[in-house]
Amino acid sequence: MNTEIITVLSTGEGRDAALELTERTGAYCGLDAKATLRLRLLSEELIELIRSMGKDIRGDFWLETNDNNIEIHLKTLMDMDLQTKKELLSVSTSGKNEAAKGIIGKIREMIASATLPDDPETGAMAKQALGLMALGSQMGSYYGGVYSWSLSSYAASIENAYGSDINANDAKDELEKSIVANLADEIKVNIVESDVEVIIFKSFK
């Protein structure tokens, strides 16, 4: 079953309706209160992706169910330019992006980087900003084309680099502490130029 589509905005409109839809979907699937809460938490994390984009981003939010296998979808058009990108960054004196904390924050930063226009200045910025998150990419380029990322590929790459890369060690620790990484079975990000879709997969047995 595919649910209705709820429009959510980076300014917060639509969030309550999306969460109500999530709870109705949980009831439709016969989930108990604990499982429905987990589903709601995953929806909250996904909606959080567009909350801090710094401009009026609109997203389509819906759920798809097959028995107790549930997918949470968020699809948006991300017209990113260099100025907007800079507005998203909180730069410390070390030059590091302090805003991209947690898996959802880093996915948001990855999307912002991957949707930058294809030119030398923004291309260099995109590659640098992606950093270890690029380990989860499955195909395509860092910017200006097709880009695909999955949590499972990212986690496997981090595991392989663990012990030999201090950044990978920190990334693994972050994954272990992440609510969404622990609750979700999988997260996939698909980007085609400015079209972005993020899907969270969860099976309730």
Residue with more model confidence, 198 or 83: 198
Most confident of 43-57, 87-101, 110-124, 168-182: 168-182
pLDDT digits (tens, 9 = 90+) for 30-57: 999 999 999 999 999 999 888 766 567 8
Distance CA 9, CA 15 (A): 8
The string of DSSP letters for 56-123 reads: --EEEEEEEEETTEEEEEEEEE----HHHHHHH--B-TT--BSS--HHHHHHHHHHHHHTS-SSHHHH
How far, CA to CA in Å, does 104 sit from each of 99, 100, 107, 133? 11, 8, 5, 11
Type of residue numbered 31: L
Q: In this prediction, what percent of the chain has a pLDDT beyond 70?
A: 72
H/E stretch holding 140 reads strand 137-140
Q: Are 10 and 56 in contact (CB under 8 A)?
A: yes
pLDDT above 90 for 78: no
- 102-126 as b/e, with b when 16 or more CB fall inside 10 Å? bbbbbbbbbbbbbbbbeeeebbebb
Q: Are 8 and 59 in contact (CB under 8 A)?
A: yes
Q: Are 128 and 91 in contact (CB under 8 A)?
A: no
Global pTM exceeds 0.75: yes
- Domain-wise residue ranges, the chain: 6-76, 79-198
Q: Are 53 and 87 in contact (CB under 8 A)?
A: no
Type of residue numbered 77: L
121 Cα distance to chain centroid:
25
Most confident of 28-32, 101-105, 115-119: 28-32
